[in-house]
Amino acid sequence: MQRYIIGRVLQSVVSMFVVSMVVFALVRFSGDPIQIMAPPEASQADIAAMRAYLGLDRPWPVQYWGFLTHALHGDFGQSVRFRRPALDLILERYGATLELGGVAVLIVIVVALPVGVYSAVRRGTGLDYAARAFAALGQAVPQFWLGLLLALIFGVLFHLLPTSGHGTPLHIILPGLTLGWFAVAGLMRLTRSAMLDVLGSEYVKLARIKGLPERQVIWKHAFKNAALPVVTFAALLFVALLNGSIIVETVFGWPGLGLLVIEAVDSRDYPIVQAVVLFLSAMYIGVNLLVDILYGYLNPKIRYSA
Amino acid sequence: MTRSIDRRTFLRHTGTTAAVIAGAPLFASSRAAAAGDRLVVAVGQWGTETPFAWRHVQAEKPLWDCVYDPLIMRDPKTFAYRPGLATEWKPSNEMRTWMFKLRSGVRFHENWGELTAEDVKFTVEQSFKPDSLGGSAYFFRNQLDRIETPDKYTVVMHFKTRAWILPSLFTQYVGYQNVISKKYMETVGEQKASVHPIGTGPFHHVEGKQGDFHRFEAVPNHWRKTPGFKELVIRRIPEPATRLAGLRAGEIDIAQVFGDFLEQAQKASLRIHETPNAAQYWVILTGQTTPDREDYCPPCPWVGDQKDPKSWENGRKVRLALNLAVNKKAIMSGLWKGKGSETPYSYYYYPFNKGYSTDWKLPPYDPERAKKLLAEAGHAGGFEVRVNPYVQLVAQDGPDVMEAVALDWEKIGIKVKRVPEATSSFGPKGRLRKTGKTFSVYGSPPFDEPVAGWERVIHSKGAFNLLLDGTYDEEIDTIVREFDAERRAKLTHDLGQKLYDGYHGVMLGMKTITWALGKKVGSWQMLAYVPAETNYDSVTPA
């Protein structure tokens, strides 16, 4: 098991290293931040001086080495645009994205699990089709459109919820719904298929023959055993939702990482883009690593075949 | 006696506690004033979000101008200079020396002391920092010799050359030099001061979160005027549809609306506030630059070879054809929803500028004549052009306007290739004259004198090429050297005429910038001709 964990950790480190190289190169291929920042009065000499001041005139390998060694010490450089440490800005915005992702996952779980279980138990009925269609709709409807529609209905027409912004529990409902509904279909389908596998198993049949109440059979015996892949998916979904919140944050003016990174990309704010991508990649790789290790513990077959 | 607790109860209590802790920030009570006293303004973008003059790119003005006072204010109706922090300013030594007398008794927010000449000197001298690239830093770095402060309220600036443009650099909107507190900056440092700016303006900064919002409170008995609202919140909402939804829901009181959103705002019975003739729109016909630049293109039909008079004249005919082919009235009614005008102009020449001529009429819509001109120039079958439908700071509807122009050009046989590219990567190409001969729509803000704009964007040594480069360098240099205002006005007029006659860009008209106002807002006296939010202190409650 120890060997298995060490192998997985090494793989994760290599993945992070590759991600850091790719993001470092991509942001530099995409343009020059100094050209964007400079006002019309600035001469080419001013621009060159500024580039030298920020160290952007050094060869890429030198810049990369500097970036890597500083990043390992938690220093991701100063935002070119805000003149503040990139990490400070990320930590300032991270909470809002975490709130949004958390609420979205909560919505996904609250909707997808019961609906998935229900669809499996009542397979082929009209309500099964309706539930699946509702979930699929969330994936089919573009998030920017859904967000605006919800703001129009609940904010403008009924004055029930704020149309944008951040600060009170009411502010999070519409962006949370918009972000969450998109992911409902995936988790619901997974729950449904896992439940269908389990419902046909011998121990569920035995539980029914024993005369246990149907509710107990479904939730205590069937669902508990079907939950493992669902929990794994939900964990990864949380990270995926954090990554995918850019559109929702833009539509609702939600001051999270998504909005920060989209603006950083637009203004070629290298330190911010690098730090956010690395931060989110680290989360993704970290959660995957955790899941892999958990699976290794739970299923020895995986450990031995690795 | 120890009370036992079962697993289920423990989990329930733990869950509840966790939820309360996690949700506490969400329920945190706001220190905000009552909604009736609060003015909420939503803006699409606020640039680099720095409050400092030496880092400004002008897009920050709608956010921070309320915290500061300029040395020179402007008459909101005429755009003329008015005393600000400086009660008088005058040049000597052939405009190489400028003296400013400061208003006494003006205090910085939060008890950071009285504004003195040392604060003005300190602010201007920040331009010498190696990483100061914004505002007028370039000008001061290259032209300023030294600053003297003979007494508490007198600032004397000595320049290496004649600096007739200097007052403009200290004015409201066009200038960048918002005066900061030396004592505050030296005490807390630039980084801290940038997130909590201290100025002398009609609003003082209370709190904010970069990229999200900033909250300000009115300064009672401010020397300019006590603002009509006790509190001002400026929120950044990049999506125009969301801004409109906020206005309709009553969460936002002021937000810029344009195009379809303007129409929707009108349908929703929101009051529309206007700044007429605030932005001159034209299509930049790239390629008209100097031979040392990559965009230089004498074979391009709309450019021509300056050494060959026939080719040069044919280039002019093609440019006139490109002007005549565009239905400007359709753009004004269809896209600008009637909020545009055919007010005559030459590039960067506004009606308030000296030497302005009403003869500079917008070329009429005449596709037949356009076709004839193309044939005369040897391009009867048309030619291919590249256009980039992108959003520009003032021309936020750039993509729609570019498409309208492209459709009109296609009607006279020009093949238009759309090459969409984001502002962030296309803008720098304009600076380097490496656009690949790609046209785009530009919206120009006003300058005190057109030559201030020409020097930056029409001169071969200017930062950008937003019309043409090189051809009029000598004329521009002559105007800049001329410090007699009347003679300068005459020279400026003459160049304005040449630019107009050359049809170097496709003139689309002057756009009125529009804002929708919520029910709380009574009146709002903005600066004339300025395409951005100004003078929040003048907003009165309904």
Confidence band of B160 (pLDDT split at 50, 70, 90): very high
pLDDT at B428: 74
φ/ψ of B439, rounded to 5, equals -85, 155
**Numbers of helices and strands, H then E, in chain B:** 17, 17
Residues of A in contact with B28 (CB under 8 A): 167
Q: Which residue of A has its CA nearest to B58?
A: A39
pLDDT-based confidence at B211, cuts 50/70/90? confident
B95: alpha, beta or left? (left if phi > 0; alpha if psi -120 to 50): left
Tell me which of A46-60, A165-179, B487-501, B523-537 is least confident. Answer: A46-60
CA angle B14, B19, B22 (to 5 degrees): 120
What pLDDT shows up at residue B25?
Answer: 44
CB contact under 8 Å between A250 and B239, yes or no, is yes
The mean pLDDT value of chain B amounts to: 90
Neighbour tally for B26: CB within 10 Å? 15
Contact A169 B23 (CB under 8 A): yes
Sign of CA dihedral B109, B113, B119, B122: negative
Measured N-to-C along each axis, helices A257-266 and A270-298 cross at an angle, to the nearest 10 degrees, of 140
Q: Which residues pair with B144 in a beta bridge?
A: B159
Lowest average pLDDT, out of B130-134, B228-232, B314-318, B319-323, goes to: B130-134
Yes or no, beta carbons of A162 and B209 under 8 Å apart = no
Q: Residue ranges of the alpha helices (H) in chain A?
A: 2-29, 33-37, 44-53, 60-72, 86-121, 126-140, 143-150, 169-199, 202-209, 214-216, 223-243, 246-252, 257-266, 270-298, 300-305
**Pick from B55, B238, B428: which is nearest to A31 by CB?**
B428
Count of positions (residues) in chain A: 306
Task: State the Cα–Cα distance between residues A154 and B282, nearest whole angstrom.
Answer: 41
* Distance, CA of A34 to CA of A32 (rounded, Å): 6
| Interchain CB distance below 8 Å, A50 and B57 | no
Q: Cβ(A78)–Cβ(A85) under 8 Å?
A: yes
Which residues from B are below 8 Å from A38, CB to CB? 133, 431, 463
Provide, as residue numbers in chain B, all residues whose Cβ is less than 8 Å from the Cβ of A266.
422-424
Q: In chain A, which residues have their Cβ closer than 8 Å to the Cβ of B191?
A: 83-84
User: pLDDT (tens digit, 0 to 9) for every residue of chain A, 306 residues total?
Assistant: 778 788 888 888 898 888 888 888 887 776 677 766 666 667 777 778 778 877 788 888 888 888 888 888 888 888 877 878 889 888 888 889 889 988 998 898 888 888 888 888 888 888 888 888 887 888 888 889 999 999 999 999 999 999 999 888 999 999 999 998 888 888 888 888 888 888 888 888 888 888 888 888 888 888 887 877 777 777 777 777 776 688 899 899 998 988 888 888 777 788 888 888 888 888 888 888 887 787 777 666 666 555
Supply the pLDDT for residue A37: 65
A-to-B residue pairs, Cβ atoms closer than 8 angstroms: 152
Q: Which of A34, A152, A164, A265 to mutate to test the interface with B (most CBs of B within 10 A)?
A: A164
Expressed in percent and rounded to 5, the helix, strand and coil fractions of chain B are 35, 20, 45
Give the up-direction half-sphere exposure of residue B53: CA atoms within 13 A in the CB hemisphere. Answer: 33
Q: What is residue A299's predicted lDDT score, i.e. its pLDDT?
A: 66
On the question of pLDDT at B369 being above 90, the answer is yes
Neighboring chain B residues of A93 at a CB cutoff of 8 Å: 211
Instruction: List chain A residues with CB under 8 Å of B428.
Output: 31-32, 35-36
* Other beta carbons within 10 Å of B426: 20
Q: What pLDDT score does B486 carry? A: 94
Please answer whether residues A118 and A111 qualify as being in contact, where contact means their C-beta atoms are separated by less than 8 angstroms: no
pTM: 0.83
Average pLDDT value for residue range B437-466: 90
3-state class of A247 per DSSP? helix
Radius of gyration of chain A (CA): 24
Q: Do A253 and B250 touch (CB under 8 A)?
A: no
β-pair type (B254-256, B231-236): unpaired
Quick check: B30 pLDDT over 70?
Answer: no
Residue A258 near residue B212, CB atoms below 8 Å? no
pLDDT tens, residue by residue, B93-125: 989 999 999 999 999 999 999 999 999 999 999
Rounded distance, CA B498 to CA B432, Å?
A: 25
Nearest by CB to A36, from B138, B190, B424: name it.
B424
pLDDT of residue B156: 98
- The residues, ordered by sequence, that sit 6+ positions from A234 with a Cβ below 8 Å of its Cβ are A105, A108, A109, A187
CA A140 to chain centre: 19
Judge contact between B331 and B282, C-beta under 8 A: no
Given an 8 Å threshold on Cβ–Cβ distance, is A82 in contact with B210? Answer: yes
Contacts of A99 in chain B (CB under 8 A): 26
Residue of A27, A28, A37, A41 best to disrupt the B interface, most CBs of B under 10 A: A41
Q: What is the pLDDT of residue A40?
A: 60
> Above 60 in pLDDT, residue B7?
no
Provide, as residue numbers in chain B, all residues whose Cβ is less than 8 Å from the Cβ of A30.
425
Alpha-carbon gap, residue B490 to B494, rounded angstroms: 6
pLDDT band at B34 (very low <50, low <70, confident <90, very high): low
Task: Count other C-beta atoms under 10 Å from residue B451's C-beta.
Answer: 28
Chain A residues with CB under 8 Å of B431 CB are 35, 38
Does B367 score more than 90 pLDDT? Answer: yes
Model confidence at B32, pLDDT cuts 50, 70, 90, reads very low
Angle between helices A223-243 and A169-199 (to 10 degrees): 140
DSSP A100: H
Residue whose tokens read 């970069």: B210
Q: Kindly identify which residue of chain A lies nearest to residue B29, measuring between CA atoms.
A: A168
Taking CA atoms, what residue in B is nearest to A33? B424
Give the pLDDT band of residue B432 (cuts 50, 70, 90). Answer: confident
pLDDT tier for residue B5 given thresholds of 50, 70 and 90 = low
Confidence bin at B19 (pLDDT 50/70/90): low
| More confident: B364 or B434 | B364
How many angstroms separate the CA atoms of B376 and A281, rounded?
61
Say what the pLDDT of residue A154 is.
Answer: 96
Could you say which of A81, A102, A159 has the minimum Cβ distance to residue B249?
A: A159
Report whether pLDDT(B272) > 70.
yes
Residue among A197, A175, A186 nearest A245 (CA): A175
Cβ-defined contact of B50 to A92 (cutoff 8 Å): no
Nearest CA in chain A to B27: A168
Low-confidence winner among A114-128, B21-35, B205-219 (lowest mean pLDDT): B21-35
Rounded distance between C-alpha atoms, residue B301 and residue B398, angstroms: 24
